[in-house]
Amino acid sequence: MPTIGSELSRRTFALVVGTSAAAWGLPAGAAAVAADRRPAVRVAAVGGLSLCGVWPLLAAQAGQDLGLNVETVAASPKEGILPVFVQGDADVLLIHASDEAMGLEAAGLAGPARVWAWNEQAVIGPQADLAQVAQARDGLDAMRRIAQAQAPFIAFRDPGSYTVVQRLWRRAGIRADAAWVRMDTAPTPQAVLRQASEQQAYVVAGHIPWAFGKMAAPGMQLLLRGDPHMRRPYVVLTPGPQHGASANARRHAQRLAEYLVSPTGQAALRAADHIAGGPWLFARDSVPFVAGETP
């Protein structure tokens, strides 16, 4: 039976090719030829953007609107795409806001980071759900229920999970206690749910990798999602003065970055997310600002 990922990949491919062809008044088979004639902008994107199907659709729309061939040259975890950008093999980097993103700017390899989208973290837990997280109103309520029940909770080492959990604990006034908080001892990030399954523990993890089978374990279920305060920002980075991009590549990269944060680009993001069966990604203005907190 086809998986959600394979079905979406086929649908995304058909939509991208068909949409690109329509924009140029060509049959679908000629879409690639038309794209090749446009100036190219090379993009390295963190894997979840392509995995959920949104980025391929958005890249196609951006290419139509800008008259560019938006070419995704790398899509993988950040450890895989950072070298591609640093070595000059990509002119645009789409990554979570992070120390690495700030380090690239400080080193002159990238310009200032701009938030253009968010993804979300979700609470995943055992089917027994002793803390009744499935009934929680939001992330704060979920964390309070887990702490009050002294239910096992894994402190996942993933930066996204860590940031969201620390934010929720701080806002809820929760002090982590070894009586119920467990260390993440999984050999890989993808294996943390297997540990959670074995320990009948809760964990906060990315919704996209969970939904597309990159993180799975028997007896675990999605219990809570949809809280804007459990989202993480994606930023767009363009070449800084120390990056090896040509003048033309810099100009095209800047145009794409400006498009992604513009009203037109944000509307295209929402449309792509809808077509891809979202919500997977959220617009840049979708998270309310809370004074004294960082994304």
Q: What is the pLDDT of residues 109-123, one digit of tens each?
A: 999 999 999 999 999
Q: Which residue has the higher pLDDT, 277 or 2?
A: 277
Integer Rg of the chain from CA: 20
Q: Residue 136 corresponds to which amino acid?
A: A
Whole-structure pTM value: 0.86
Q: How confident is the model at residue 54 (pLDDT cuts 50, 70, 90)?
A: very high
β-pair partners for 96 = 234
* Count of other CB atoms within 10 angstroms of residue 294: 8
pLDDT, position 5: 39
| pLDDT given for residue 293 in this prediction | 58
- For residue 146, the Cα-to-chain-centroid distance in whole angstroms is 26
State which H helix or E strand residue 85 sits in.
helix 78-86
Q: What is the pLDDT of residue 290?
A: 74
Separation between Cα atoms, residue 240 and residue 107, nearest integer Å? 8
Q: Hey, what are 263's tokens?
A: 């009203």
pLDDT > 70? residue 13: no
**Six-digit token pair at 49?**
């953007």
Q: Give the distance from CA 127 to its chain's centroid.
A: 26
Report, as an integer, the average pLDDT of 28-32: 53
Q: List all residues 6 or more positions away from 73 whose beta carbon is below 8 Å from its beta carbon.
A: 42, 43, 44, 84, 89, 90
Cis peptide before 279 (omega within 30 of 0): yes
